[in-house]
Structure 1
Amino acid sequence: MTRPSTVRCVTNSPQQIRDDAAAVLHSALAGDGDAVVGTFDAVVDRSGLAGAYGVAWCLAAAMVGDEVPRGACALDFPGIDQAGYDTRWVARFVSAYANADVDTGEALFGAAAADGLLSDCLLTLAGSTVATLRHRAG
């Protein structure tokens, strides 16, 4: 991709979080799921779950993009009720971002962590973000 990264649209995040999000996207673009998980693990080691949440929020920002006004959005996810946990989680997390609903985003993040499925959800979020960016670029 030659377009500039859309992670830049998250201006209230510390630079480290944006750098971590860029590293996750770079690994996801390369198809390296182990590196995606490794980056998230390093973020958790350094900054706890709050840091990983910040990176996930940046990925949601990249997925939604700059053209979508935040708040009062209705996102259409056909067949979402039949999808796996991680796919449903990504749809709901991105919807929370698009609607500027931090409370729901934090609750989803906490639930995935409590269910032991956060790594799967974050990996799916990274893959979905890359797929969206590729679609937007193509």
Structure 2
Amino acid sequence: DWDTGPELLISTKRMDSSFGKNAANRVEESYGDAKNLRLRHPLSALGFVYGLRSTILTTEPDKAEWLIDLLGKLGTEDDAYHAVALVMIDYDSEVTETADEEVDSIEKAEPDTLFEIVDVATAAVDEALAALPDIAIRHDT
């Protein structure tokens, strides 16, 4: 409704690595997002969904416990989010390394080789889909 604004706003963030360096920043950003959204749209319901790679549970379990606790608190503040969800994502680490290599090769490419015109009808959609990682959502933590 133009008079009241949006009814539901959902903010999202995701973290796949560098948990120790980035966790505090992501939570701070999330809290800031809630404050900004609440001020701009006071009648809206606010939700927050945080995607977190499951490797944090084994590589930095203390940071995982701390981060999950802070995410829970985001949903208890009167002026923050009405609901908060954590999605624990599990996927193969080789995918990230391959993606990083592709970014490096793009950055090092000659300017005239960066762009390729591809006919969508003949694009290798099946190949691209097959290259995507197998992803699972963990419900056990």
Q: TM-score range by the shorter chain?
A: under 0.3
Q: Per residue, is there more helix in 1 or in 2?
A: 1
As a proportion of its length, which structure holds more strand?
A: 2
With the length of structure 2 as denominator, give the TM-score of the two structures: 0.25
Q: TM-score, normalised on structure 1?
A: 0.26
Structure with more contact order per residue of length (Cα contacts < 8 Å, sep ≥ 6): 1
Query: Considering only CA atoms, is the larger Rg found in Structure 1 or Structure 2?
Result: 2
